[in-house]
């Protein structure tokens, strides 16, 4: 359901926004072999081959950065609207509530 679509991760915690490899003003495209980040404000993007995204179960995504060994868990708790989900992001012992919403790719 989440692969090959554009998503924006957000929280109200500025520090927590750095836990996932997508920051404010970025749309993230998830694919089997790469992740593509597009900055919707500045109009540039880049591929990241270090992150592996996979579904651990029906409502949890796992993110592994093979370059650093960092692991992030994104648990989906429910829908907030037609294209938004209530999520809990876990990075080590830190747990932050946030949202995962579809976003529009505005690039070439």
Domain boundaries, the chain: 6-102
Q: Which tens digit of pLDDT belongs to each residue from 25-41?
A: 788 888 877 888 898 88
CA 80 to chain centre: 16
pTM of the predicted model, to two decimals? 0.74
Q: Which tens digit of pLDDT belongs to each residue from 45-102?
A: 988 888 888 888 888 988 888 888 888 898 998 888 888 999 998 888 888 888 888 8
Give the burial class of 1: count Cβ atoms within 10 A of its Cβ; 0-12 exposed, 13-18 middle, 19 or more buried: exposed
């Amino acid at each position: 359901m989440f692969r090959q679509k554009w998503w924006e991760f957000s929280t109200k915690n500025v520090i927590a926004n750095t836990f996932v490899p997508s920051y404010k003003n970025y749309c993230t495209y998830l694919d089997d072999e790469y992740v593509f980040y597009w900055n919707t404000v500045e109009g540039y993007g880049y591929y990241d081959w270090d992150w592996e995204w996979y579904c651990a179960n029906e409502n949890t995504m796992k993110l592994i950065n093979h370059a650093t060994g960092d692991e992030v868990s994104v648990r989906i708790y429910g829908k907030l609207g037609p294209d938004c989900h209530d999520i809990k992001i876990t990075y080590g012992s830190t747990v932050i509530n946030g949202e995962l919403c579809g976003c529009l790719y505005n690039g070439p």
